[in-house]
Structure 1
Amino acid sequence: MKKQLYNITGLLVLLLVFGCKKSFLEMDPQSTLTAGTFFKTASDIKQAVNGCYIPLRDMGRIDYWLFGEMRSDNTGFQFNKENRGLETQREFVDEFLTGATAESVLDLWQRSYSGISNCNDVLGSIGGITMPDSAKNQYTGEVSFIRAFHYFTLVRQFGDVPLRLKSVNSPAESRSEGRAKTDMVYATIIADLKEASAKLPVKYGSTDAGRATRGAAETMLAEVYMTRKQFDSAATVLKDVITLGYSLQADYKSIFDPANKNNSESVFELQYSGILPELASSFMYTFAPYTSGSVVTGDVNTGMGVDNGWNIPTQDMLDTYEAGDKRKDASLATGFTDATGFVNIPYVKKYNWGFVAPGRTNVNFIVYRYADVLLMLAECLNETGQGAQALHYLNDVFGGASIRGRAALAPITVTDQTQLREAIAHERRVELAFENHRWYDLVRTGKAVDVMNAHGVQEKQLKSFIPAAAFQVTANKLLLPVPQREVSIDNLQQNPL
């Protein structure tokens, strides 16, 4: 692939913009590396590892929520009848109408493999660099984690995918060996995560906050095991994560406060900063109704249009919260008030914390947090017939708070496996709302087809603009089509449509 052939050049350009003399987050211009000196020193490796985080940050701005949240029954979009261009491709993701030529699908594929290629370059070079073993282990662990992250996204979205595990140094090496079977892809992911878990530290100093840790690797490994229905293995790993010093924040809303980044509940989060446009996040703007002007964002200098009105909470999502659940008000608003009065268009406000500069925010996006760990462990215990023990992780205090308690809700008491399974699924949906877990939870629990077809019926009843062909969900539709460009140039077999 063209992006892979020129990966080193692209990475050098990125590193000219993001050196690493300061903190891990605030990477200002510091170096003028050339291809001739690249991957020669420990400093080169460190900068390359920093560069491996950049695709995660970039993809976090759209790819992860588009395919992990908006594809589920949690969110949809605000229909923009004035603009029917590229934005329809995002709508098609929500409506299960995405085709193989969709730019959004190609972007997900190419950006993931570009990130994998960055990781391969580091892993292929680090062995020949002289540096302390502790640093070599840490960098190897970080990059193994990131490569697993990309492959875990790809295999869940596309199924069988090409395994690219070495640097691409010539045109002849750019062709893949075809789509590897899912089992082989998962074996690679598990191997990478075990490598990462063994080599990563439990925590870092403040200047390196946000780097992958042992807890992050083990949490993802547990999710991989759960996706593979290996609940005993997942539980074993999750119990180890619990020993690593995480704790629940007492106030749910404060978890997402940019003044409280990388807090005691955070296991892994994508790092953003408003100091430069390239480092900034923009979730507040993206998720605001495009007709809300500056009412939702408070930013009179940033206009609203096709980039806004995405990831809009559905009526089904609004109705899911129990009465009195504090998480609802912290996560979403049912509408906004402008000069005309109250406008009944809900929006995600979990990431609405103001702006640093017009159009730029510094809100991080949490990928894994301790509440997720507890909920996963509860699910694993219930699936292995240990319902009473599962309740412990839903109701009891972990570091000053409990999941149900801080939501101002009564403890869950059911122990019947089926009923508790539904209760845990409900907790995951509301606790982790708009954090890109819902779609993957539906698929791995075998509920996606039924839930999304029922959701489609409701959406068509509420929204006249939904096409008749939308939400015709089958097992084949649970996988995205392989981008037609990749089918053609890499001779890949297409997914059944």
Structure 2
Amino acid sequence: MRNQSKYIILAFLSITTLVGGCKKDFLNQAPESSLTNANFWKTESDLKQGVVGAYSSLRGMGTFSYWVFGEMRSDNTTFQYNAPQRGQENRELVDQLLVNSTNTLIQDYWRDCYVAISRCNDVLNNVGRIEMPAAAKSQATGEVKFLRAFHYFNLVRQFGGVPLRLEAIKSPGEAPSKGRASVDEVYKQIITDLTDAANELPDVGSYPASEKGRATKGAANALLGEVYLTQKKFGEALTTLRKVTGYSLLSAYKDIFLTTNKNNAESIFEIQYYSTAGTNLSSNFMYQFAPFNSGTAVTNDPGTNLNFNSGWNTPTTDLIAAYESGDLRKDVSLAEGFTSGSGFVAVPYVRKYNQGFVQPGQTNVNFPVSRYADVLLMIAECLNEQGFAPDGEAFGLLNQIRRRAGLNAKTFDNPIPALKVSSQAAFRIAIDQERKVELAFENHRWYDLVRTGTAIPVLTAHGQREIAKNPSQFPAGSYQPTQNKLLLPIPQREVNLDNLPQNPQ
């Protein structure tokens, strides 16, 4: 929808990331080129544009870093091996669990997270200077606290303890950090930010249509619930997740991802993209995930040539096999190949974001961060961890998701072995299975594997199957997960410049 949730890249200074521009509707504002703290942060409009800048950081990471580190490191996706074009081996090494501290993708991810955090800090450090209604000021504060917590949650799960930067940097002398905070210290700050955000943000129903897509009370509670779940604080997680109200499952899974249905009743938070003439606000997932040898068969875009930037986030045989017969989500989420002039080519690709293009190379597709289905499955998981209850509430929540997918219910004493869930351990497996296929390609799988302690056995078996397909394609040591490798190495540049201790590899 043209008036909903439009972003634009803003001009930001290197560290202070100051923003400005003319007023249009939500998150659609143009930059000015010479702004400083002295002439900015004076009006409510300035503050709103600062918040826009904090949101805009999501767009670039959404089109690359999030799925590279959230899906390709897992057993859900891999890459299409491109023998003639070997210029993207740094991406392949992420998938193969061979990434090292000099990999540019890790450096970019770290930098982009901290630029985003700096933008949040800039808003928080200057909001008190501006005369404006208290409610608007509170909302702006809640939005950037939600975003700061989101970035730190990603950082702590990927790197462990990281520097906690909670103030805007005003001079080069302030650039060095105080070193790596502990994991517990980072989580404490995340919980503080999300608790504040949940108290300060409006409910989803309070936003007008033109403002849909902003962080809400529900988004803050959904993320906070996931934080508690990651810490295995199941009671706190359950209490928090039950506060996520005002949302509902759509009746058809396929409708969730339509560009005509952005920010729908099931959507809790999405990264917003928008394509129209004269802007660079679009997404491009369809092109990156299409097989590089598919021509226009997958994208139907004769104006865009596919190259070495395509063939990524490719569904694995493990994921394809995880779908039960008759699961309506499978054909929405992926295809097992494409048809060209020479016939069927068995190269799988992600279909979930293949919703057509607006201009050559540009799509309007948003990226889901949090959905109500995810919340229901997390509630079911918490209930089971607090005590297995045969055919209890947790079963009901699990089966809501399954019924929409066209599948039969799983029950305690089901006579069909595949549908029988007779213990707490069996219910854990059922939840893992459902999250794997329901949330496929939405950047949950890596974190689920690590959170549940199943990453090493699952990825070891997955890697053996991948290597067996074509052993000559894989460097020595591929797909050999260890406890140390569940954390990314700290970028070597940060180790050198900020004197940070390195993660053992």
- Tell me, which stretches of 5 or more residues in structure 1 are unaligned? 396-401
Tell me what 1:389 maps to.
393
The answer as to whether partners of 2:213 and 2:263 remain within 8 angstroms in 1 is yes
Take 2:270 and 2:172, find their aligned partners in 1: how far apart are those partners? 35
Q: TM-score, normalised by structure 2?
A: 0.93
Take 2:351 and 2:457, find their aligned partners in 1: how far apart are those partners? 29
Tell me what 2:4 maps to.
none
Tell me what 1:209 maps to.
212
Take 1:20 and 1:312, find their aligned partners in 2: how far apart are those partners? 40
- Secondary structure of the equivalent of 1:7? coil
Tell me what 2:416 maps to.
none
Deviation at 1:28, TM superposition (A): 4.5
- Secondary structure of the equivalent of 2:305? coil
The answer to whether 1:438 aligns with 2:440 is no
The answer as to whether partners of 1:4 and 1:114 remain within 8 angstroms in 2 is no
- Secondary structure of the equivalent of 2:378? helix
Q: What is the letter of the counterpart of residue 496 of structure 2? A: S
Where do 1:26-37 residues align within 5 Å? 27-29=28-30, 34-35=35-36, 36-37=38-39
The answer as to whether partners of 2:271 and 2:367 remain within 8 angstroms in 1 is yes
Take 1:299 and 1:330, find their aligned partners in 2: how far apart are those partners? 20
- Secondary structure of the equivalent of 2:92? helix
The answer as to whether partners of 2:12 and 2:18 remain within 8 angstroms in 1 is no
Deviates more, 1:33-42 or 1:71-80: 33-42
Tell me what 2:460 maps to.
453
Take 1:46 and 1:108, find their aligned partners in 2: how far apart are those partners? 26
Q: What is the letter of the counterpart of residue 208 of structure 1? A: E
Q: What is the letter of the counterpart of residue 151 of structure 1? A: Y
Where do 1:89-488 residues align within 5 Å? 89-203=90-204, 204-241=207-244, 244-275=245-276, 276-387=278-389, 388-395=392-399, 402-413=400-411, 414-464=421-471, 465-488=473-496
The answer as to whether partners of 1:374 and 1:393 remain within 8 angstroms in 2 is yes
Q: What is the letter of the counterpart of residue 412 of structure 1? A: K
Give the root-mean-square deviation of aligned CA atoms. Answer: 1.5
Take 1:23 and 1:52, find their aligned partners in 2: how far apart are those partners? 13
Take 1:60 and 1:386, find their aligned partners in 2: how far apart are those partners? 37
Q: What is the letter of the counterpart of residue 424 of structure 1? A: I
Per the alignment, do residues 260 and 4 of structure 1 end up closer, same or farther by CA in structure 2, a change over 3 Å counting?
closer
- Secondary structure of the equivalent of 1:366? strand
Tell me what 1:398 maps to.
none
Q: Deviations over 1:428-484 (max 9, x none)?
A: 000000000000000000011111111110000113312231011100000000000
Q: TM-score, normalised by structure 1?
A: 0.94
Take 1:299 and 1:328, find their aligned partners in 2: how far apart are those partners? 24
Take 1:386 and 1:135, find their aligned partners in 2: how far apart are those partners? 44
Q: What is the letter of the counterpart of residue 299 of structure 1? A: D
Take 1:277 and 1:77, find their aligned partners in 2: how far apart are those partners? 30
Take 1:320 and 1:277, find their aligned partners in 2: how far apart are those partners? 40
Q: What is the letter of the counterpart of residue 118 of structure 1? A: R
Take 2:302 and 2:348, find their aligned partners in 1: how far apart are those partners? 20
Take 2:361 and 2:345, find their aligned partners in 1: how far apart are those partners? 23
Q: What is the letter of the counterpart of residue 479 of structure 1? A: L
The answer as to whether partners of 2:459 and 2:479 remain within 8 angstroms in 1 is yes
Q: What is the letter of the counterpart of residue 157 of structure 1? A: Q
- Secondary structure of the equivalent of 2:248? coil
Q: Which of 4, 23, 47 in structure 1 is aligned with 2:26?
A: 23
- Secondary structure of the equivalent of 1:97? coil
Take 1:483 and 1:30, find their aligned partners in 2: how far apart are those partners? 31
Take 2:31 and 2:210, find their aligned partners in 1: how far apart are those partners? 16
Take 1:226 and 1:383, find their aligned partners in 2: how far apart are those partners? 10
Take 2:380 and 2:469, find their aligned partners in 1: how far apart are those partners? 35
Deviates more, 1:32-41 or 1:346-355: 32-41
- Tell me, which stretches of 5 or more residues in structure 2 are unaligned? 1-10, 412-420
Q: What is the letter of the counterpart of residue 316 of structure 1? A: D
The answer as to whether partners of 2:290 and 2:311 remain within 8 angstroms in 1 is yes
Per the alignment, do residues 40 and 28 of structure 1 end up closer, same or farther by CA in structure 2, a change over 3 Å counting?
closer
Take 1:21 and 1:258, find their aligned partners in 2: how far apart are those partners? 22
Identity %: 54
The answer as to whether partners of 1:20 and 1:50 remain within 8 angstroms in 2 is no
Q: What is the letter of the counterpart of residue 339 of structure 2? A: T
Q: Deviations over 1:279-329 (max 9, x none)?
A: 100000010000001110000110111110000000011100001000000
- Secondary structure of the equivalent of 1:240? coil
Q: What is the letter of the counterpart of residue 295 of structure 2? A: G
Number of aligned residues: 479
Q: What is the letter of the counterpart of residue 393 of structure 2? A: Q
The answer as to whether partners of 1:4 and 1:174 remain within 8 angstroms in 2 is no
Take 1:177 and 1:287, find their aligned partners in 2: how far apart are those partners? 40
Per the alignment, do residues 375 and 20 of structure 1 end up closer, same or farther by CA in structure 2, a change over 3 Å counting?
farther
Take 1:342 and 1:234, find their aligned partners in 2: how far apart are those partners? 46
Take 1:224 and 1:59, find their aligned partners in 2: how far apart are those partners? 20
Q: What is the letter of the counterpart of residue 366 of structure 1? A: P
Q: What is the letter of the counterpart of residue 450 of structure 1? A: P
Take 1:52 and 1:429, find their aligned partners in 2: how far apart are those partners? 30
Take 1:364 and 1:249, find their aligned partners in 2: how far apart are those partners? 17
Tell me what 1:399 maps to.
none
Q: Deviations over 1:74-100 (max 9, x none)?
A: 000001111212x10010000001010
